[in-house]
Structure 1
Amino acid sequence: MDAWFRQDGYQVRLEWGPDGVTALGADCAVLVIVDVLSFTTSVDIAVGRGARIMPLRWKDEAAAANARRAGLPVGETFGKELSLRPSSLTAIEAGTTLALPSANGATLCDLASKTGAHVLTGCLRNADAVAARARELAGDRPVGIIAGGERWLLPGDPLRPCWEDLLGAGAIVSALPDGRSPEAEMAARTYRATGASLLHECVGAKELIAAGYPDDVRLATEVNVSTATPLLRDGFLS
Structure 2
Amino acid sequence: MFDQSPFHCRVEWGRRGARDAADRGDLVIVVDVLSFSSTVVTALNYGAIIYPYPPNLNGKDFAGKIGAQYILGRSEAAKLGIPTLSPVSFNQAHENKKYVLTSLNGAFCTWIASKVPALLIGSLLNASSVARVANQLSTQANVNITVIPCGEQWNDVRANEDTLRPSIEDYLGAGAILAELEGSKSPEAELCTAAFTHANQKISDLIWDCGSGRELREKGFAEDVRHCSQLNIFQTVPLLKKDHFEDVR
Instruction: Provide the TM-score with structure 2 as the length reference.
Output: 0.89
The 1:29–1:138 alpha-carbon spacing in structure 2 relative to 1, beyond 3 Å, is: farther
- The answer for the alignment partner of 2:110 in structure 1 is 109
Question: Is 1:224 paired with 2:224?
Answer: no
CA-CA distance at 1:97 after TM superposition: 1.3
Pick from 175, 181, 186 the counterpart of residue 181 of structure 1: 186
Greater mean deviation of Cα atoms: 210-219 or 154-163: 154-163
- C-alpha separation between the residues in 1 aligned to 2:113 and 2:90? 24
Distance 1:127 1:168 in 2: 7
How far does residue 135 in structure 1 lie from its aligned partner after superposition?
1.0
1:114-170 alpha-carbon deviations (Å, 9 max, x no partner): 3x3311010000000000111111114211001100000133770001010000000
Instruction: Give the superposition deviation at 1:28.
Output: 4.3
Q: Distance in 1 between matches of 2:186 and 2:151?
A: 19
Distance 1:33 1:92, change over 3 A: farther
Q: Specify which of 156, 161, 171 is matched with residue 154 of structure 1.
A: 156
Q: How far is 1:76 from its partner?
A: 2.3
Aligned CA distance change for structure 1 residues 71 and 203 (closer, same or farther; 3 Å): same
Deviation at 1:52? 1.4
Q: What is the deviation of 1:66?
A: 2.0
Distance in 2 separating the partners of 1:169 and 1:215: 22
Q: Cα distance, 1:23 vs. partner?
A: 1.8
Tell me which residue corresponds to 1:40.
37
Partner-residue secondary structure (3-state), 2:113: helix
For 1:192, which of 170, 193, 197 is the aligned residue?
197
1:25 CA drift (Å): 2.1
Q: Which residue of 2 aligns with 1:119?
A: 119
Instruction: Give the aligned residue type for 2:233.
Output: V
Is 2:100 aligned against 1:74?
no
Deviation at 1:91, TM superposition (A): 4.0
**CA-CA distance at 1:59 after TM superposition:** 3.4
The answer (yes or no) to whether the contact 2:216–2:222 under 8 Å persists in 1 is yes
Structure 2 match to 1:17? 14
Q: Would you say 1:65 and 2:61 are equivalent positions?
A: yes
Q: Which amino acid aligns with 1:34?
A: V
Structure 1's unaligned 5+ residue stretches are none
CA drift of 1:92 comes to: 4.3
Q: Report the CA distance between 1:68 and its aligned residue.
A: 2.0
Alignment check: 8 A CA contact 1:14 1:146 kept: yes
- Aligned partners of 2:152 and 2:167 also within 8 Å: yes
Work out whether residues 71 and 102 of structure 2, in 8 Å CA contact, stay in contact via their aligned partners in 1: yes
Over the matched positions of the two proteins, sequence identity in percent amounts to 33
SS of aligned partner of 1:231 = strand
Displacement of 1:67: 1.3
SS at match of 1:26: helix
Distance 2:222 2:213 in 1: 8
Displacement of 1:24 in angstroms is 2.1
1:197-212 → structure 2 map (5 Å cutoff)? 197=204, 198-212=206-220
State the partner residue of 2:86. Answer: 85
Instruction: Spell out, residue by residue over 1:193-213, the C-alpha distance to the aligned partner (whole angstroms, 9 max, x if none).
Output: 002141111100001111111
| Match in the other structure for 2:100 | 99
Aligned residue-pair number: 233
Query: Residue 143 of structure 2 corresponds to which residue in structure 1?
Result: 141
What 5-or-longer segments of structure 2 have no aligned partner? none
- Contact 2:28-2:120 within 8 A present in 1 as well: yes
> Superposition RMSD on alpha carbons, in Å?
1.5
Q: Is the 8 A contact 1:55 1:99 kept in 2?
A: yes
Deviates more, 1:103-112 or 1:16-25: 16-25
